Each structure stands twice: as C-alpha cells, then as structure tokens.
Amino acid sequence: METPRRSIAKALSWRLLATLITTSIVYLITGKGEFAATIGLADTLIKFFFYITHERIWNRISYGRQKNDPEYFI
C-alpha cells in the first residue's frame, strides 16, 4: 500500500504538470495571463484534494490486485 506521503508527492507532481497545461490553454484562448493564472490556481487547489482522496480510496479496494499481494486482504 502507498503511504499518504507518496500519494501527496504523486498528487503534487501531477498537479504541477496539469496546472501548466490548464494555464497555457486558458492563456491561448483568452490572451489574459492573470486570468489564466487564476484559473490554473483554482483548478489545482480543487483537484489536488480530490486526487488525494481518490488515491486513498483506491488503496482500500482489492480490485485488480494479486492474491499473493499482502495489500489484497486489506
């Protein structure tokens, strides 16, 4: 099972990349840097917490795990 710290590290690295993508798209569409940054930040803050929650829930689900995996029985 992943530790909460690992889930947070994964969430941070993914959100950094996703924020750059979202901010770039908004900037390309609107041409407004401050607006793009605001949307990127809001998107990041909201989705960061949903991602961690999603990861932690999936760590409790045995679907797709091998039976010899100690986490399978959790």
Radius of gyration of the chain (CA): 17
Task: Tell me the three state secondary structure of residue 63.
Answer: coil
How far apart CA 64 and CA 30 sit, in angstroms, is: 43
**Domain parsing of the chain, residue ranges:** 9-62
User: pLDDT digit string (tens) for 3-37?
Assistant: 888 888 887 898 889 999 999 999 999 999 999 99
User: pLDDT digit string (tens) for 38-61?
Assistant: 999 999 889 888 988 988 898 888
Sorted by sequence, the CB contacts under 8 Å of residue 62 that are 6+ apart come out as 71, 72, 73, 74
How far apart CA 37 and CA 24 sit, in angstroms, is: 9
How far apart CA 19 and CA 45 sit, in angstroms, is: 10
